[in-house]
Structure 1
Amino acid sequence: MAGPDRPVQLQRLRGSRWVGVARTPVRRGRWAVTLRARPGATAYRVVAPATRAGGRRLPRRASRVRTVHATQSAALEVRPATLVGEEVPLRVVALPARAGRPLLLEQLRGGTWAEVATLRSGAAGAAAYTLPGGTTRTDLLRVTALPWRGAPATTSPERTLDRAPRALPRVGWPQEAFPVNRTQVTVVDVPQELEGPVEVFLDGVRLGRATRCPASAETEPCASGGDPTDPDALLRHTFAWDTTLVPNGPHDFTARTAGRHGRLADSVRVTVLNAVPDAVPTGLPEGFSLETVASGFTLPTQVEVLTGDSALVAEKGGTVRLVRDGRIDPRPVLDLGDRVVTEGDMGLVAMAVGPRFDRARVSGDLYLGWVHHDEGRPTTFPTVQNQRVSRFVVRNGVADPRSERVLLGGAPAAQCEDDADARRPGCLPALGTGHTVDDLLFAPDGSLFVSVGDGILVEGDSSLNLRAQDLDTALGKVLRIDPATGRGLRGNPFVRSGTPLTSHRARVWAYGLRNPFRMTRNPRTGRLYVGDVGNGATEEVDVVRPGANFGWPCFEGTVPQDVDGPVCAALQADPRSVTAPAWSYPHTERGGSVVGGAFYTGGEYPPSWDGTHVVGDYAQGFVSQLRWDARDRLVGEPVPLVSPEASGAPVAFEMGPDGRLWYVAIGGFEPGSGQLRRLRYAAGCQPGEYVTELFASTTPTGTPTGTPAARRCDREPGGSWGAGAPDPALPADGFAVRWTGRPTLPGGTYRFSATTDGALRVEVDGRTVLERAATSGPTATTSEPVRLGSGQHRVVVEYAHVSGEASLALTRDRVGTAPTVRLTAPWSGLTLLDGETVDYTAVASDAEDGPLGDDAVEVLAETVHYPVAGGATSTPHSHPAAVRPGRSGSVRADGVHAPGRVLMRLTARATDSSGWTSLSAPVWLCVDGNRVGPCVPHGAGGDGGGDGGDTLSR
């Protein structure tokens, strides 16, 4: 609009008369107003009334008339399947939204559409209804938005609701927790009202198709099959599979019938226990072993090694824990509790201690990168969250939550919702389920590097991914900041005269990254190295120079991506403006998730290790060595270091002051699976063995004295030596032996028992649990009950012999029985709409305690991600959210992480008063449109409808 400032009015044609809609004084240019769409066609114009300005009379002016056509639409949202007799929630929506509009819900009956109910829409155009339970096997439904205030009628697309039988296939063998080995024959019994064939799955991956037993079978296991002429009989199917294809330990086994009404059986947790406990090779070079420093963490994400025997470990749920001498301190260093958003990959992911941190006293500045939860704000997609980097003060192993100083991202999330808000200095918005603050690393000059994902984990939305190319946001960047203030630093590549140091631009060191998960520094060249997690094809390790642009989302690795707009067009026209990966590798059937790793700086390992770079991959499971030259170029090929079967899902690496490589294995929900590990070389006993020290003398009370006359390694304490001694270096009488080890034990209450002639002391985690003086002959003694958590425990046994026959037999036994726990709702195989919330319920009991309450039960909800859409045999990896306390709650079915390639898995865990812990069999929840794993119906395409045979392989 040209000319001086003047008021204008937007008008709408009502019948034959123009009526005002909005009026505002404006300056030259454009102005905008948002209106609710009206039914049908509406004519609009802009009028500038006659007025006077600057002593001049300005005539009335009117714009051309423009007609807006509002598209009528109706939609019916309902689960695609339910059980016979079960009520079904559904939602209907009519647009444009008009409160009170009648909505007719109809069902096809005998070829004619019949009314089910007439609903009234709310202000947003939606209405909810609960469809009564039915007996028909398939319902066809639709909704019609009836004519309303000038709007014509419109009918939704038809939706099919399958009502499956309540009958379930049943895994008859193996039974729950039963150990299996070698070739295992599995038995599945199927009610006749369900359709064959039967597909079987292990850990969500298709094993193959079971074979139906012939009716005339006279040998087991088919001899117990039902009579097909009996309508109530169960038809037996069998399937033989090789258990050596999977590691020893617990696994989930389930089966699915075929056809439209295919049902997923309740899962059975089986334990694979082949004869050779070390059948899975570690892949380690000769002389190396993996040592579990501490176990029992809940989804550990990061480690800061303090001394040779102590470390801080961050857990995804917001807790920082202190490990000393293999023990996890029961008192957390810091617990952020419900202040942390833990959906998907969000949570507490990054941690570092300040350069002046007193590692012996565990005191100083602690830096954390996490996703903050604003009280009362929804935590699930599509609500935007805000990330932050905070500093806390730790004194003697305890951090005061009130000492928090927010360095990045302190704004309320509500102020960071719009796309443009990402440029606000206090905003690090995150939408979806991940790509948040990934790592923190101090430089030698005391500055703090912060790696930040692009803040968007919603496939297909490249417009938000493009914030990685916007220097005025912190997303998709490596930042370099002042650790005292959070401001950018002079000398950063995009700081110019007049650039505010509080701006994101002043903080940027490098950009164009998708998810820079873990950083490390090459001590030889001083360069920063980053592992950037790829999208669908490539993982990469980048050498970071100031100002570098790594190209995301215009490039993945070196491959141009299909992203519209001038930013990517310019970069793809000049690929030399983008820094290529220093090393990249393709995704496999497991996908890919690179973990940036650590450089070996010398210490315990052979000289050939000096300067090598250890990296890993969470999804593929490997740990490998890389070697770089003085110009940061890769030398040779990566050298495998730890096999995927033995690595335990690595998520963070660090060189310790003891000259060893430490790393975090995030594990899962299995008690003790979250571990802190380190790589040991040659000297000393192997993990799981006891260090045995043999002494030639003791004190009168039986304590070993002096320097050990000999040392060795034993699998367990004890022995029978008759009239002699356990080593030629010892006298036949008056000797002593000390065993020190760290056995890994399941949680529970234990009693230690010993039969011996000598003086004995047994210490567990620094506490004496059994002590007795020497006797004239072997006598038995038993400790009081000792409660121990899942994980490693330091056990010291001291035995002192006086004279005569020498022997020690030491045992430990768990007291009581394991609790039982199962999920009673929802039913396994339920298909939910994307974004739908469903309630879950768990029940648990114990023979000694009776029914267990909310304080004894937890539930883990996981997103299981399959790299291949439509496949049942591709190997998935898990994205675990935080553990949820209590027997009941709700979980949201969310396919946003990888549309078409995910399902949900729920598992409950119960702990009785003795500390004994049990897991339920999982419940698998399908997400509408995601046909993967056990959610692939037979004959639906992909590889779920194969013709039998074993599809699981090494």
Structure 2
Amino acid sequence: MYGLLVFATLASAQQPQQPRSSRRDVADVYASLCANCHGPRLEGGMGPSLVDDTWKSGADDERIARSIREGQLTAGMPAFSGALSSQDIRALVIYIREQGAKKRNEGTAFARPVADKVVNSERHAFKLETVAEGLETPWSVAFLPDGRMLVTEKAGRLRVVEKGRLLPKPIEGTPEVWSRNQGGLLDVAVHPDYARNGWIYLSYSAPGANGSAMTVLVRGKLREGRFVEQQTLFRARPEHYRTGGVHFGSRIVFDGKGHVFFSIGERGHKEDAQELSRPNGKVHRIHEDGSIPKDNPFAGREGAIASIWSYGNRNPQGLARHPVTGELWEAEHGPRGGDELNRIEPGHNYGWPVITYGMNYDGTPMTDRTAQEGMEQPVLHWTPSIAVSAIDFYTGSRFPQWKNDLLVGALAQQELRRLRIEDGKVVHQEVLFKDIGRVRDVVSGPDGAIYIAFNEPDRIARLVPASPVEPASGKTRDTKP
């Protein structure tokens, strides 16, 4: 690990024989047991630094946890199994990861593109161009065959960008939304055969009784500035609506075979993600008209919601199909740590909240379990969390060396990442830019550019190719998975 873990002075060896409560803030645990040796910022003292990327006892989470649990007696570090529960130890591992990432980021120059500034990334040079401003919390972007862009605003408006201009009047007739906290008008998706059938799909948080809400999926058509012929494709039963303003999901994906996939977050009721009788905390699959495919994994099972495709998903805000393999990939928010990238298989359980690589937002432990039989491991997890949002595979031709790479947005970390995937594994990550706004959506556009919906400041922008600059400026940092 980062040096030999020496979490306390020798005086700390006088420990209680039984672990104390696991409802302690991990920062307080570190301050009371670890800071004397490793320093208040983990940069070292009597003991070595925990944030210098030098690991002697093993760099993986389990070996870090083992060093804390069993100690390194020859180096003067006692075993903490008597003072700390397994959940506390897991939280300390996450805390070390967080502080290590913070230290590395402080010493790294990330690209922060502004108008007309060329960024040299690892494989392509690009510029960031503003496409549309004057929006209020844009959430999703989709393109019509004629080049017009549809943009959802969380407050409930569906907007149109035409020839680089945001039309002043929103589309009328869109459904009433429950626009509070994370709820509102969410994803917009255009049917692959829109030129023939004209269908546009929307997901949104709909109000229920007693201040409750739940994610709903509808489709309709555009006619003379109105959303018409609206059909409800999925709506939960009234008793399944949940109060609270968090974790609605939601993304919409077509598979080209007559099916629609969409995601619903667990609405802040984490146990619901494991219940097949509830729709939240799941990825769903239906026919394009809302009917249920007979070969869905839980179709026909008594008590189960027949549209469920996968379960144990916390808050999936990223969903995309691989352009070559057709595999369904999903990104979901973890708690504090444990954001996940998953390859979604029918009927599989992705573990939340039984297993997770994260902890509670207040720094208290959640569980020490990161794996369990019958539950899927993420292809990749981000610990500390990046607040992962939308994902999309790049399918254009203007950035040929990014072909079929996965683009990943992040909210809290304000990043756009490029992931190279080989044989179902992430083999490389690159941060293309950072700290110029919360990345809410990322879309591979029909013109080969990459379109991004930003929050704070609210706008739509796009990445376009540019000639490399010499000497290289704004070179991005690669991030190992």
Per-residue CA deviations over 1:535-570 (Å, capped at 9, x if unaligned) read 112211111111221100111148999779xxx9xx
User: Which of 280, 291, 294 matches 1:490?
Assistant: 294
Alignment partners' CA distance in 2, 1:306 and 1:448: 18
- In the aligned structure 2, how far is the partner of 1:576 from the partner of 1:532? 21
Contact 1:283/1:640 (CA < 8 Å) preserved in 2?
no
Shift of 1:355: 2.7
Letter in 1 for 2:432: L
- In the other structure, the counterpart of 2:15 is none
Partners of 1:665 and 1:469 lie apart in 2 by 33
Q: Deviation per CA, 1:824-849: give whole Å up to 9, x if none.
A: xxxxxxxxxxxxxxxxxxxxxxxxxx
Deviations 1:217-252 (A, max 9, x none): xxxxxxxxxxxxxxxxxxxxxxxxxxxx9x99xxxx
2:421 partner SS: coil
Work out whether 1:395 is the aligned partner of 2:395. Answer: no
In structure 2, what is the Cα distance between the partners aligned to 1:582 and 1:574?
13
1:578 counterpart (375, 396, 400): 375
Letter in 1 for 2:309: W
**What's the counterpart of residue 659 of structure 1?**
448
The residue number in structure 2 matching 1:551 is 351
Give secondary structure in 1 for the equivalent of 2:426.
Answer: coil
Residue in 1 that maps onto 2:235: 409
In the alignment, the residues of structure 2 paired with residue 321 and residue 559 of structure 1 have an alpha-carbon distance, to the nearest angstrom, of 38
Say whether the 8 Å CA contact 2:357–2:383 is kept in structure 1.
no
Q: What percentage of residue pairs aligned between the two structures are identical?
A: 28
Change (3 A) 1:559 1:492: farther
> Does the 8 Å contact 2:118/2:125 carry over to 1?
no
Q: CA, structure 1 residues 530+632, in 2 after alignment: closer, same or farther (shift >3 Å)? A: same
Q: Residue 677 of structure 1 corresponds to which residue in structure 2? A: 461
* Equivalence for 1:645: 435
* Corresponding residue number in structure 2 for 1:597: 391
- Aligned match of 2:280: 475
- What is the distance in 2 between the residues matched to 1:304 and 1:293? 14
Tell me: CA distance 1:371–1:602, structure 2 relative to 1, closer, same or farther (3 Å).
Answer: closer
Compared CA separation, residues 504 and 370, structure 1 to 2 (3 A): farther
TM-score (norm 2): 0.67
Give distance in 2, aligned partners of 1:410 and 1:465. 17
Alpha-carbon distance in structure 2 between the residues aligned to 1:308 and 1:656: 13
Deviation at 1:473, TM superposition (A): 1.5
Cα deviation, residue 624, structure 1: 1.0
Distance 1:584 1:621 in 2: 17
Does the alignment pair 1:609 with 2:402?
yes
State whether residues 437 and 451 of structure 1, in contact with CA within 8 Å, keep that contact through their aligned partners in structure 2. Answer: yes
Deviations 1:132-189 (A, max 9, x none): xxxxxxxxxxxxxxxxxxxxxxxxxxxxxxxxxxxxxxxxxxxxxxxxxxxxxxxxxx
| Count of residue correspondences | 355
Question: Is the 8 Å Cα contact of residues 388 and 437 (structure 1) preserved in structure 2?
Answer: no
Residues 677 and 309 of structure 1: CA distance in aligned 2, closer, same or farther (over 3 Å): farther
Kept in 1: contact 2:272–2:280 (CA 8 A): yes
SS at match of 2:425: coil
Q: 1:386/1:451 Cα in 2 relative to 1: closer, same or farther (>3 Å)?
A: closer
Within a 5 Å distance, the mapping from 1:724-735 to structure 2 comes to none
How many angstroms apart in 2 are the aligned matches of 1:277 and 1:596? Answer: 22
2:297 maps to amino acid: P
In structure 2, give the amino acid aligned to 1:364: G
Shift in CA distance, 527/482, structure 1 to aligned 2, threshold 3 Å: same
What corresponds to 2:201 in structure 1?
367
How many angstroms does 1:280 deviate by? Answer: 9.6
Aligned: 1:433 with 2:245: yes
1:279 is displaced (CA, Å) by 12
Q: Which residue identity is paired with 2:310?
A: A
Match of 2:183, as an amino acid?
M
**CA 1:632/1:396 → structure 2, altered by over 3 Å: closer, same or farther?**
farther
**Distance of aligned partners of 1:366 and 1:334 in 2 relative to their CA distance in 1, 3 Å threshold:** farther
State the 1:682 CA deviation.
2.3
Deviations 1:373-427 (A, max 9, x none): 35xx66xxxx322331112222255313xx322222265xxx42xxxxx3xxxxx
Alpha-carbon shift at residue 335 of structure 1 (Å): 5.3
Cα 1:369–1:280 change in 2 (3 A) is same
* Deviation (angstroms), 1:336: 4.0
RMSD of equivalent CA atoms: 3.2
User: C-alpha distance in 2, partners of 1:658/1:438?
Assistant: 25
SS of 2:144's equivalent? strand
CA–CA separation in structure 2 for the residues paired with 1:593 and 1:520 = 17
Higher relative contact order (CA 8 A, sep 6+): 2
Separation in 2, partners of 1:279, 1:293: 14
Whether 2:89 is the aligned partner of 1:298: answer no
Distance 2:162 2:337 in 1: 41
Aligned match of 1:357 in 194, 201, 205?
194
Q: Distance in 2 between matches of 1:538 and 1:280?
A: 34
Residue 453 of structure 1: aligned partner = 265
Answer yes or no: is the 8 Å Cα contact 1:473–1:505 preserved in 2: yes
Could you say which structure has the higher helix fraction?
A: 2
Which deviations, in whole Å up to 9, do the C-alpha atoms of 1:192-226 show, x marking residues without a partner?
Answer: xxxxxxxxxxxxxxxxxxxxxxxxxxxxxxxxxxx
Which amino acid in structure 1 is aligned with residue 466 of structure 2? A
Match of 2:3 in 1: none
Structure 1 residue identity aligned to 2:380: W
> SS of 1:438's equivalent?
coil
User: How many Å separate the matches in 2 of 1:277 and 1:530?
Assistant: 30
Change (3 A) 1:557 1:526: farther
- Kindly indicate whether the alpha-carbon contact (under 8 Å) linking 2:144 and 2:150 is maintained by their aligned counterparts in 1: yes
TM-aligned CA distance change 1:562 to 1:283, over 3 Å = same
1:508 matched to 2:308? The reply is yes
Q: Describe the shift of the 1:559–1:522 C-alpha distance in structure 2 as closer, same or farther (beyond 3 A).
A: farther
Give the whole-Å Cα distance in 1 for the aligned partners of 2:143 and 2:114. Answer: 31
Report the 3-state secondary structure (helix = DSSP H, G, I; strand = E; otherwise coil) of the residue aligned with 2:273.
helix
CA radius of gyration, larger in: 1
| CA distance 1:283–1:559, change in 2 (3 Å) | farther
Contact 1:364 1:395 in 2 (8 A): no
Matched letter for residue 186 of structure 2: V
Cα 1:443–1:504, aligned 2, differ >3 Å: closer, same or farther? Answer: farther
Contact 1:438–1:517 (CA under 8 A) maintained in structure 2: yes
Q: Does 1:540 align with 2:331?
A: no
One-letter code aligned to 1:622:
E
* Residue aligning to 1:209: none
User: Does the CA contact (< 8 Å) of 2:247 and 2:267 recur in 1?
Assistant: yes
- Structure ranking higher in strand proportion: 1
Contact 1:477 1:508 survives alignment (8 Å): yes
Pair 600,370 (structure 1): closer, same or farther in 2 beyond 3 Å: same
Letter in 2 for 1:598: D
Structure 1-normalised TM-score?
0.35
Amino acid at match of 1:351: V
1:288 to 120, 126, 140: 126
Q: Per the alignment, do residues 373 and 346 of structure 1 end up closer, same or farther by CA in structure 2, a change over 3 Å counting?
A: same
Runs of 4+ residues over 4 Å off in structure 1: 276-286, 558-564
Q: In structure 2, what is the Cα distance between the partners aligned to 1:574 and 1:581?
A: 10
Residues 435, 626 of structure 1: CA spacing in aligned structure 2 closer, same or farther, 3 A cutoff?
same
Q: Are the aligned partners of 2:336 and 2:358 in contact in 1 as well (CA < 8 Å)?
A: no
- C-alpha separation between the residues in 2 aligned to 1:442 and 1:552? 25
Residues 277/295 of structure 1: CA separation in 2 closer, same or farther (3 Å cut): closer
CA contact under 8 A between 1:322 and 1:397: conserved in structure 2?
no
